[in-house]
Amino acid sequence: MSAAPGRRPVTLRAVLIGLFATVVLCGLTPYNDFRIAATYIAGNHMPIGSFFLLALLVLGVNVVLRAVRPGWALQPGELLTIWAMTAVSSGLPSSGLFRYLTPHIIAGLHYATPENHWDERILSQLPVALQIRDPAAVRFFFDGLHGRGAIPWGLWLRPMLVYGVFSAALFTVFLCLGVVLRRQWVEHERFTFPIAQLPVEMVREPESGALLPPLFRSTGMWATVVILTIIHTFNGMHQVYSAVPQVGLYQWHLEGLVGRGWKTWNWVRLSVYPLTVGFSYFISNEVLLSLWLFYALFRAELAILDACGVQWAGPGAGYGYALFSSQQAAGAALALTVWVFFTGRGHFGRVLARLWRRTHEPGEREEGLGYRAAVVGFLAGVAVMLAWLVRFGGSYTMAASVLVFSLVSFVTLTWLVAQAGLLFVQPVWAGRELAVRLGGSRMFSPRSILVGAEVEHIFGMDLREFVLPHVMNVQKASDPLHTSRRGLFLAMALALVAGYVVSAYATIRLPYDYGAEVGLNNPWTYKNSPMLPLQFLDSLLTKPMAASTTSWWGVIGGGVGMWAVMVLRANVPWFRLHPAGFIIASGYPLSCFWFSFLLGWLLKNAILKAGGLRLYRRARPIFLGLVVGDCLNGGLWVILSPLLHVRYQILPG
């Protein structure tokens, strides 16, 4: 693939290897995640499967090739291409898409009973093109075929093609939006992209005569990797042989607290994830402070409310812990999205002007796509998704609500990954719930609510491994390695197409082979999650919801608070509190990682106070070792788990 001047082209060899790796990872991920229930092969924005494969190529294949046939060794740009293709497609067979898409298509009839009347009251609102209603196909999906017939592929073809149209439009939006955002975030605002730094260090060209890149020649890093390997070996083998001692890392939590206020702290996690502690070292202090401090403040807020006898409601949809915090976070995310495009209005205005101006912007030819094509692709993708939602949901208002809040989630969480380096993020709000609470449920038809809920839950809720942050990280990594962005753009697009097809096949076949209900080990995927949109509509049909003034104030308050923080950060030198923690304080990811962020913040500041930047640089390999060690052991235990019949997890499920 041709490249702009000064950039190396993406080679056909790299694309073919990346395509093969994409097919393998997407084919194996459902078995690992849902049958074995080991550490997720992706699961976050530093996917363990992609990292492990990259490490094998750097530490194994390339070492041998450099020793035997140096000319055959994979070059840094080729390794980056392979990583880009596997990373961007890594989430598709799991939470990035098919963990929810496949069960949502078929689960409705299975969970409809004579008692709940879902078949008549709920499923009748869902278009036939979006579900499978054949009783035998449904029964064998949950019980397994076990030689009683063949997989009914013909029944799956229509819904997969229909959802494939929406998926293709969404992937187009991600790729084009990545092109539009790149220069503003990389060159103008100079985001740090902490996650992109490690792959770049891994694939750098070794010094003359060396077999390994500089990163892998650090004694401190390898010492840390060895220590972590010993810990994970003991913990993993403890699950095989109980006599082997266990080194607890993830199981700690507060318990036994009683009394008003105090009891709300029970089950607060005090978990140490080495991978998160390691990445904390490369995150700015103000972000780290924000992450653990806002979580602690949120828990303190719950304690104060409980002490005062105030009962708070949980959200009816979404992954937040409390309704008020979800609404505030949604308002903050809306404000942040407006801030992103307001502060970059000069760049985005020039990009938009390319629709009618023929002259290229400086450096535009080096982008993954020309700005005119990127804007047209983005607008076309949004138009297709809107038309799709209206076609099947029948309501412009609900379609626009779901689409706007989903795009806000995509931009906000990508901003958090790019600037704050967060590995694992999820929105704590749901667009369809906000629309219903702000406008009242009678404003929408049952059909539009159900279709909006289904689509949002499949595509826009569990964003722990969605595509856009990977696109941004790849573009950032292309600069120090001087690799063609256009070639990487096309390689990622190819990986998404292949990943969609293979993931669809693997996630349909797996339940028919083993039985989703009796042979797979992920009830959230096959039971709890597919029922949420149905339960949401059922609750509104049973008890319609009026428009809520309190909800309006919650969203507005969150937005005003976010703008206040951003304005203070931009204009007051001593105000350095970052808003990252506020947006996700009440979510599952921060409840898992807040203590690791606190520990990383304490260690980083202790090192800086003790030895300044000199000691900080000397300690860097140790913290890189925490990341490398966890990722290598995570990949190793993905291989060992089915062999030893254990479910050893390195990171949260």
Structure tokens at 402: 């779901």
**What tens digit of pLDDT does each residue of 339-382 get?**
999 999 999 999 999 988 888 888 888 999 999 999 999 999 99
Q: What confidence score (pLDDT) does residue 252 get?
A: 82
The helix/strand/coil state of 97 is coil
Q: What confidence score (pLDDT) does residue 419 get?
A: 86
Separation CA 124–CA 126 (nearest Å): 6
What's the whole-number average pLDDT of the chain? 92
Per DSSP, helices labelled H in 112-249 are: 118-121, 135-143, 153-183, 194-203, 219-240
**What tens digit of pLDDT does each residue of 447-480 get?**
999 999 999 999 998 999 999 999 999 999 999 9
Kindly tell me if the per-residue pLDDT of 5 is higher than 70.
Answer: no
Separation CA 427–CA 120 (nearest Å): 32
Neighbouring CB atoms inside 10 A of 642's CB total: 15
The helix/strand/coil state of 92 is coil
Neighbouring CB atoms inside 10 A of 348's CB total: 18
- φ, ψ for residue 253 (rounded to 5)? -160, 160
**What tens digit of pLDDT does each residue of 106-139 get?**
999 999 999 999 999 999 999 999 999 999 999 9
Contacts of 284 (CB under 8 A, 6+ apart): 192, 420, 578
Separation CA 150–CA 524 (nearest Å): 26
Mean pLDDT of 529-557: 93
Percent of the chain with pLDDT over 90: 71
Kindly tell me if the per-residue pLDDT of 265 is higher than 80.
Answer: yes
Separation CA 4–CA 487 (nearest Å): 10
Torsion of CA 629, 467, 562, 298, to 10 degrees: -50
Looking at residue 130, the DSSP 8-state letter turns out to be G
Q: What confidence score (pLDDT) does residue 412 get?
A: 95
| Residue 154: alpha-carbon gap to chain centroid | 31
Mean pLDDT of 253-277: 88
Separation CA 140–CA 515 (nearest Å): 7
CB 324 within 8 A of CB 612: no
Query: 525 vs 97, 424, 435, 450, CA distance in Å?
Result: 11, 18, 25, 19
Separation CA 282–CA 269 (nearest Å): 23
Neighbouring CB atoms inside 10 A of 425's CB total: 28
Q: What confidence score (pLDDT) does residue 1 get?
A: 60
Separation CA 515–CA 520 (nearest Å): 6
**What tens digit of pLDDT does each residue of 484-524 get?**
999 999 999 999 999 999 999 999 999 999 999 999 999 99
Q: What confidence score (pLDDT) does residue 360 get?
A: 83
Mean pLDDT of 44-70: 93
- Given pLDDT bands bounded at 50, 70 and 90, which one contains residue 4? low
Q: What confidence score (pLDDT) does residue 644 get?
A: 86
CB 539 within 8 A of CB 449: no
Separation CA 89–CA 85 (nearest Å): 6
Percent of the chain with pLDDT over 70: 99
Kindly tell me if the per-residue pLDDT of 3 is higher than 80.
Answer: no
Using the structure block, give the residue that is written with the tokens 């009394």: 259
Q: What confidence score (pLDDT) does residue 492 get?
A: 97
Q: How far apart are the first and last CA of the chain?
A: 39
DSSP one-letter string for 276-288: HHHHHTTS-HHHH
Mean pLDDT of 625-639: 92
Q: What confidence score (pLDDT) does residue 309 get?
A: 86
Q: What confidence score (pLDDT) does residue 60 get?
A: 94
Which residue, among 646, 497, 525, has the nearest Cα to 26 in the 3D structure?
Answer: 497
CB 454 within 8 A of CB 158: no
Kindly tell me if the per-residue pLDDT of 2 is higher than 60.
Answer: no
Query: 498 vs 89, 137, 426, CA distance in Å?
Result: 8, 26, 25
Separation CA 613–CA 617 (nearest Å): 6
**pTM, full prediction:** 0.94
**What tens digit of pLDDT does each residue of 10-48 get?**
999 999 999 999 999 999 999 999 999 888 999 899 999
CB 100 within 8 A of CB 529: yes
